[in-house]
């Protein structure tokens, strides 16, 4: 026989029996009490004689719960389980369960770390991914060398899986995707830059963006989430959700540095690849200086496009993706976005800086203005993407580049003014037409007006060597600049008119060029810069050139039709006839010379051309008609009559219509 238990143990057993009897009426409740007591002393768990074995009739015995009260008892038992205070035995039970869960978690991690797992990725299967994430999460916060080792293995795998998801979840890049899809979507909300060169800056692929094939391709990669919202530009929402799950576990485990490093490396490479697709390559200052203008012009145009896409598209989406994936840690989110984005931002800014401090030349001005305008417009949005020191750094860099681009604009305008004054071509244009310098300068100046918002600020306070007069005291800085440039042009055109030996052609040349200048001003924003008074004065100058032409061309012709110097004889005086023959002969020679030369001249403006013809007719035809009418009879019947009166007044009237048409006729 077994030895009798000591007195203390007998007392405990007796107490336990008393507690069980008073516990009430359910075997489940009794079992629960045994479990509680056994937590204090494992010897209780060995005591099987506390209760007699249950018999089939127990349910009907005194200790059973009546059938109609069973539901009420179950409810009371559940309330008791919820309300009763937890004791040490409960914690031990949970500890056992937790230990078992940790063991299972380590088993899952070790399975994937074994040779049997091969090169498979956990996240190729949603079931495997869910199990592995749960296992890794279970290990977080647990102690013990084996647990810590398993956690490190799990974090290393999650880090690599995170990297692979970032890489594999990124669709292939193509310029038509970035331009035709992203730019087209951005164009719905992005204000257009008010530059004359904006048409030139449009992406060529826009012309075909509505084609069915391109639309279907774009829709597959750039699906819209909702009106006004674009899905993550390279990563699907499902992948973003999975990345967030991994990031949550790694951040809880204290692996933020490793997570941030992976995210930053992959996304930095992706954004840099986007820049390359957009045509913005990394170039040193020396490389920028060596590139010929035609190539550099294209790179500057692509830079302007890329800045808009990067700031308003790529980085805005990168910020949104980053905030979703790293929602659990604001500091990690900020670090990841900054490290991923700053590379492409600095590459953009560095190219802008290289242009700003590069060699200045007139042809660069409008691209530089386009770059200045784009950066100034987008800087608030660019700043808003960053925070803290990164934001301060980006702002300082961008503002410094804006300042240097502004210096480049002012310097280039000064270079342009010097180029006008230094233009040295000495070959007169045939026919007195518009000089190429006039066309170039006026088209150049006209484009300046499209940047009035920026140029008025950039040119404000600039010293100029030209006094514009009291009537221009209220002129804007750009208006003052334009006036200086046009004044230089007018002075140069005046000099070039002296290349013509014929004074009449000088006047035609000046009239053509001034008319062109006035038209360019009148039909553009330049009119508001220079004012109506300036235009009225220049139109008066055009009329003076017209009068100067008539005087220099037709004075000698009209002198042949005056009575001055004719003999005062009557009848068929031989002296009068001889004088008349000489007069008609001189008229014919002078008129034929004008006709031969001035039909080859060209007055560009049709209205101005017709006005000149009318002026000629009004001055010459009445005098010729009167002279012929009075003296034709003196020569009629004589020999060679047609030799002297070669042209009827009607002939002269018809031939005047040939003047200034640019025709090359033989004498």
Q: What does residue 229 show for φ and ψ, rounded to 5 degrees?
A: -125, 140
Above 50 in pLDDT, residue 194? no
How remote is the C-alpha of 292 from its chain's centroid? 24
Q: For 487-540, how does the pLDDT look when each residue is reduced to its tens digit (9 = 90+)?
A: 999 999 999 999 999 999 999 999 999 999 999 999 999 999 999 999 999 999
Residue 187: CB atoms within 10 Å: 15
Above 60 in pLDDT, residue 644? yes
Determine the Cα–Cα distance for residues 521 and 513; give it in Å rounded to an integer: 13
Q: 179 pLDDT band (50/70/90 cuts)?
A: low
Supply 38's token pair: 């056994």
Residue 96: predicted pLDDT: 82
Determine the Cα–Cα distance for residues 433 and 430; give it in Å rounded to an integer: 7
In 3D, which of 376, 530, 528 has the Cα closest to residue 458? 376
- HSE at residue 301, side-chain half, CA atoms within 13 A, is 15
Over range 92-104, report the average pLDDT. Answer: 85
Pick the more confident residue, 226 or 464: 464
Over range 367-388, report the average pLDDT. Answer: 96
Residue 638: predicted pLDDT: 63
**Per-chain mean pLDDT for the chain:** 80
DSSP labels for 237-288?
HHHHHHHHHHHHHHHHTT-HHHHHHHHHHHHHHHHHHHHHHTT-----HHHH
Q: For 397-426, how does the pLDDT look when each residue is reduced to its tens digit (9 = 90+)?
A: 999 999 999 999 999 999 999 999 999 998
Residue 395: predicted pLDDT: 97
Over range 147-167, report the average pLDDT. Answer: 96
Above 70 in pLDDT, residue 87? no
Residue 548: predicted pLDDT: 96
Euclidean distance between the first and final Cα of the chain, in Å?
155
**Residues 557/563/565/567 CA torsion (nearest 10 deg):** 130
Question: Exposed/middle/buried for 480, CB within 10 Å: 0-12, 13-18, 19+?
Answer: buried
Residue 91: predicted pLDDT: 63
Residue 353: predicted pLDDT: 95
Above 90 in pLDDT, residue 14? no
Determine the Cα–Cα distance for residues 266 and 165; give it in Å rounded to an integer: 10
Whether the Cβ atoms of residue 315 and residue 341 lie closer than 8 Å to each other: yes
Above 90 in pLDDT, residue 232? no
Q: 663 pLDDT band (50/70/90 cuts)?
A: confident
Above 90 in pLDDT, residue 346? yes
Q: Which residues contact 375 (CB under 8 A, 6 or more apart)?
A: 307, 352, 398, 401, 402, 405
DSSP labels for 357-371?
TS---GGGHHHHHHH
Determine the Cα–Cα distance for residues 638 and 632; give it in Å rounded to an integer: 11
Whether the Cβ atoms of residue 584 and residue 645 lie closer than 8 Å to each other: yes
Q: 326 pLDDT band (50/70/90 cuts)?
A: very high
421 membership: H or E segment, kind and range: helix 388-421
Q: 572 pLDDT band (50/70/90 cuts)?
A: low
Determine the Cα–Cα distance for residues 381 and 375; give it in Å rounded to an integer: 10
Residue 633: predicted pLDDT: 81
> Which string of b and e fits 388-427 if b means at least 16 CB within 10 Å?
eebbeebeebbeebbebbbebbbebbebbbebbeebeeee
Residue 9: predicted pLDDT: 53
Residue 44: predicted pLDDT: 42
Q: 473 pLDDT band (50/70/90 cuts)?
A: low
Determine the Cα–Cα distance for residues 530 and 520; give it in Å rounded to an integer: 12
Above 70 in pLDDT, residue 570? no
Residue 602 pairs in a beta bridge with: 661
Pick the more confident residue, 577 or 500: 500
User: Minimum mean pLDDT among 202-206, 261-265, 340-344: which range?
Assistant: 202-206
User: Minimum mean pLDDT among 86-95, 199-208, 462-471: which range?
Assistant: 199-208
Residue 636: predicted pLDDT: 76
Q: What does residue 425 show for φ and ψ, rounded to 5 degrees?
A: -60, 140
Pick the more confident residue, 56 or 612: 612
Whether the Cβ atoms of residue 449 and residue 486 lie closer than 8 Å to each other: no
Q: 57 pLDDT band (50/70/90 cuts)?
A: very low
Residue 78: CB atoms within 10 Å: 10
Over range 383-391, report the average pLDDT. Answer: 95
Question: For the chain, what percent of residues have pLDDT higher than 70?
Answer: 73
3-state secondary structure of 592: helix
Q: What does residue 248 show for φ and ψ, rounded to 5 degrees?
A: -60, -45
Q: 256 pLDDT band (50/70/90 cuts)?
A: very high
Above 90 in pLDDT, residue 123? yes
Classify residue 602 by its DSSP letter: B
User: Minimum mean pLDDT among 233-242, 490-499, 587-596, 655-664: which range?
Assistant: 233-242
3-state secondary structure of 229: strand
Q: For 538-548, how does the pLDDT look when each residue is reduced to its tens digit (9 = 90+)?
A: 999 999 999 99
In the block, residue with structure tokens 């049997």:
116
Whether the Cβ atoms of residue 426 and residue 456 lie closer than 8 Å to each other: no
Residue 642: predicted pLDDT: 78
Above 70 in pLDDT, residue 288? yes
Determine the Cα–Cα distance for residues 158 and 256; give it in Å rounded to an integer: 12
């Amino acid at each position: 026989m077994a030895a009798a238990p000591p007195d203390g143990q007998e007392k405990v057993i007796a107490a336990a029996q008393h507690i069980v009897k008073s516990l009430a009426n359910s075997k489940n409740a009794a079992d629960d009490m045994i479990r509680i007591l056994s937590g204090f002393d494992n010897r209780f768990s060995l005591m099987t004689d506390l209760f007699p074995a249950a018999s089939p009739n127990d349910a009907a015995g005194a200790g059973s719960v009546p059938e109609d009260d069973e539901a009420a008892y179950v409810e009371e038992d559940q309330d008791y389980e919820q309300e009763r205070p937890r004791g040490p035995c409960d914690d031990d039970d949970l500890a056992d369960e937790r230990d078992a869960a940790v063991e299972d978690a380590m088993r899952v991690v070790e399975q994937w770390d074994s040779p049997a797992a091969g090169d498979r990725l956990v996240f190729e299967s949603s079931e495997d991914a869910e199990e592995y994430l749960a296992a890794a999460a279970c290990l977080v916060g647990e102690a013990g060398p084996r647990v810590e080792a398993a956690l490190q293995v799990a974090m290393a795998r999650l880090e690599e899986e995170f990297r692979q998801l970032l890489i594999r979840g990124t669709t292939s890049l193509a310029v038509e995707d970035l331009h035709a899809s992203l730019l087209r979507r951005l164009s719905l909300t992005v204000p257009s830059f008010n530059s004359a060169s904006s048409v030139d800056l449009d992406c060529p692929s826009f012309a075909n963006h509505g084609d069915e094939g391109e639309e279907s391709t774009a829709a597959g990669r750039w699906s819209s989430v909702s009106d006004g919202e674009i899905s993550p530009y390279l990563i699907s929402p499902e992948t973003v959700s999975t990345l967030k799950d991994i990031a949550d576990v790694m951040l809880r485990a204290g692996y933020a540095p490793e997570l941030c490093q992976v995210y930053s490396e992959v996304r930095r490479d992706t954004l840099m690849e986007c820049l390359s697709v957009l045509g913005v390559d990394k170039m040193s200052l020396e490389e920028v200086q060596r590139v010929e203008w035609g190539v550099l012009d294209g790179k500057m145009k692509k830079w302007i496009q890329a800045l808009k896409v990067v700031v308003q598209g790529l980085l805005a989406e990168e910020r949104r993706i980053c905030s979703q994936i790293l929602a659990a840690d604001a500091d990690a989110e900020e670090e990841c976005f900054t490290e991923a984005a700053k590379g492409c931002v600095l590459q953009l800014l560095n190219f802008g800086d290289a242009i700003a401090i590069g060699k200045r030349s007139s042809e660069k001005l409008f691209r530089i203005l386009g770059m200045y305008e784009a950066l100034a417009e987008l800087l608030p949005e660019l700043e808003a993407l960053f925070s803290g020191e990164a934001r301060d750094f980006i702002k300082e860099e961008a503002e410094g580049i804006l300042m240097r681009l502004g210096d480049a604009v002012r310097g280039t305008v000064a270079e342009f003014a010097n180029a006008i004054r230094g233009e040295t071509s000495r070959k007169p244009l045939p026919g007195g037409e518009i000089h190429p310098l006039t066309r170039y300068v006026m088209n150049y100046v006209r484009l300046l007006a499209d940047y009035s918002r920026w140029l008025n600020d950039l040119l404000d306070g600039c010293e100029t060597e030209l006094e514009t007069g009291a009537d221009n005291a209220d002129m804007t800085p750009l208006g003052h600049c334009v006036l200086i440039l046009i004044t230089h042009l007018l002075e140069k055109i005046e000099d070039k008119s002296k290349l013509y030996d014929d004074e009449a052609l000088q006047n035609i040349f000046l009239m053509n060029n001034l008319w062109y200048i006035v038209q360019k001003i009148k039909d553009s924003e330049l009119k508001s810069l220079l004012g109506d008074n300036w235009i009225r004065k220049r139109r008066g100058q055009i009329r003076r050139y017209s009068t100067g032409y008539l005087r220099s061309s037709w004075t000698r012709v009209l002198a042949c039709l005056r009575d001055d110097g004719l003999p005062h004889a009557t009848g068929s005086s031989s002296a009068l006839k001889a004088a008349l023959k000489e007069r008609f002969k001189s008229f014919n020679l002078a008129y034929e010379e004008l006709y031969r030369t001035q039909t080859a001249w060209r007055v560009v403006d049709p209205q101005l051309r017709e006005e000149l013809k009318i002026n000629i007719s009004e001055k010459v035809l009445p005098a010729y008609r009167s002279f012929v009418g009075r003296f034709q009879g003196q020569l009629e019947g004589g020999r060679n009559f047609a030799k002297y009166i070669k042209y009827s007044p009607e002939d002269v009237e018809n031939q005047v219509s040939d003047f200034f048409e640019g025709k090359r006729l033989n004498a």
